[in-house]
Amino acid sequence: MIRSMTGYGDAEVDCPAGRVRVEVKSVNHRFFNANIRTPSGFDRFEKAISDALKAHLTRGHISVSLTVDRSASAGEQEVAVDVEKARGLVAALRRLRDELGVAGEPDLALIARFSDVFRAPEIDRTEGVEEELLVGLTSTAAEACLVMRISEGERLEEDLNGRLAVMASQLDTVEARAPGRLLEHRDRLREAVRELAEQVDVDEERLAREIAYTAERWDINEEVVRFRSHIELFREALAGDSAEPVGKRLGFLVQEMHREANTIGSKANDAEIAEAAVAIKEEIERLREQIENVE
């Protein structure tokens, strides 16, 4: 069983501080890479959040968003008023009036324009939100993300197995065609010799040596056997029930498949085999693209 690295999960809870919500999104990445966004003051919890993620998700670019909606909590914080500063402002405005000889009296609307008269209460934004709560929410969201990754992995596995079947079918074509191209090459050599020297008998022994040499150069049996072995190992990795990530192992097998396909193509010397080799390499590229998202 394989797991995709694309997933999403969330979790939220109401507490005295308000509604706390954690969202976890993941996409493909070679390693574990967490990007954690928290409100001001919550950065001290980032390591605990990261550790909670690692307990469930081992690879991928993981984006975590923590939000705290305090409007969901009861009570409002009282705004402090600096009365002494307000008195000083009124006195200063009256002196200015008298000095300038203008009419008017400072009123509340005018005093309210001076923002330093009012002071917001200093509060701990993390108050009421414990680390244990955040770790629990992160674990729940990560588990939901993992469930989605497993579901996506099942669909991905079906696609990968289909591509392996196509490659195995193309290998059947290569194996079936390989002996025939040697016989055709032998016949072409014999005909060429006859045309060059119509009165001279063909030296069958020398022709046989030439065919043997050509057969050795064109032999693709080892490449086909190794390729089939890679396909079986790939299938075993897909079907395995281990919780260990298999993405890197599949990547290595795809690399080896590509190597064998290149060799088969270079030794083909036959249009049908060359066409099959190209088709195999096209499927390998599709495999390579897909396993980029396999954990």
Per-residue pLDDT tens listing for the chain (295 residues): 788 899 999 999 988 778 899 999 999 888 899 999 998 888 889 999 999 999 999 889 999 999 988 765 545 556 778 888 888 888 998 888 888 888 888 888 888 888 788 776 655 567 778 899 999 999 999 999 999 999 999 999 999 999 999 999 999 998 888 776 766 666 666 666 566 556 556 566 666 666 666 656 667 888 889 999 999 999 998 887 766 778 888 999 999 999 999 998 888 778 888 899 999 999 999 999 999 888 8
Contact 235, 160 (CB under 8 A): no
Matching residue, tokens 């999104």: 25
Distance CA 110, CA 71 (A): 30
Q: What is the pLDDT of residue 136?
A: 95
Read off the DSSP letter of residue 62.
E
Matching residue, tokens 């090459």: 185
Q: Which two tokens stand for residue 45?
A: 């919890």
Strand 18-27 relative to strand 60-69, pairing: antiparallel
Matching residue, tokens 């493909």: 28
Distance CA 138, CA 12 (A): 9
Matching residue, tokens 């923590």: 66
Q: Which residues pair with 65 in a beta bridge?
A: 23, 37
Q: What is the pLDDT of residue 74?
A: 47
Q: What is the pLDDT of residue 239?
A: 86
**Domains (range + CATH), the chain:** 7-73+124-147 (3.30.230.10), 80-119 (no CATH), 153-291 (no CATH)
Instruction: Provide the whole-model pTM.
Output: 0.65
